[in-house]
Amino acid sequence: MLRVGLTGGIACGKSTVAGMFTTLGAYVIYADKIAHELYHPGQPVYEELLKRFGPDIVQDGGEIDRAKLASVAFGENRVQELNGIVHPAVIRRQRDLMYEIGMREPRAVIMVEAALIFEAGVKNRFDKMIVVTCRPEQKVQRYARRANIDEQAAAAEVQRRSNAQLPDEEKIRRADYVIDNSGAIDRTQLQVDRVYRELKVLALGKG
């Protein structure tokens, strides 16, 4: 199997690109979905977050309010503490899923879509790295649409989250492939097609 990391800045279109790779035949594991599962009541991560960050992060139904948790973590400069709880558990689950897929299909292209691959120091778990980019103003516009907020509020949130990540220029420097998602969707698709063809050849060589 070929293990591929897929990352990029906030609102650059990582999930859109991941969906394109899925359509072509790649197996995509979404780190954010794993984290969401780990936030369920009864999970060790849930209990640790409740102990560290307090009951105010829990909604009436018992689920963790992820927006409130993020607000506390960023507002109180506790992002590293939050990541130290969540990231190890997410990485273990990613590793287990990659192993399960690889056992079924030794020549699979398996991707992990995650915002903080470089920042979490786990790049060496991957054979190749893909970075998705777009223009800074597009991040704000896209995040505003996604979160249904005005662009001023979106700009503040994008900046806050970007401060916890490596600059795009550094991500690009470390990448094996860069997909520019600042133009038309067809242009992005052409780039994805090209990259996937290369990844599939590499995967066949590893099978």
CATH of the domain at 21: 3.40.50.300
Residues 6+ apart with CB under 8 A from 59: 65
The structure's pTM equals: 0.89
Looking at residue 123, its pLDDT comes to 61
Residue type, 56: D
Q: How many domains does the chain have?
A: 1
pLDDT of 122 reads 66
Task: Give, for all 207 residues of the chain, the pLDDT tens digit.
Answer: 999 999 999 999 999 999 999 999 999 999 999 998 999 999 999 999 999 999 999 988 888 998 899 889 988 889 889 989 999 999 999 999 999 999 999 999 999 999 989 988 766 789 999 999 999 999 999 999 999 999 999 999 899 889 888 999 999 999 999 999 999 999 999 999 999 999 999 999 875
Q: Looking at this protein, which amino acid is placed at residue 49?
A: L
Residue 125 tokens read as: 């778990």
Domain carrying residue 198: 2-206
Which helix (H) or strand (E) segment holds residue 30: the answer is: strand 27-30
- Under a CB-based contact definition with an 8 Å cutoff, are residues 6 and 122 in contact? no
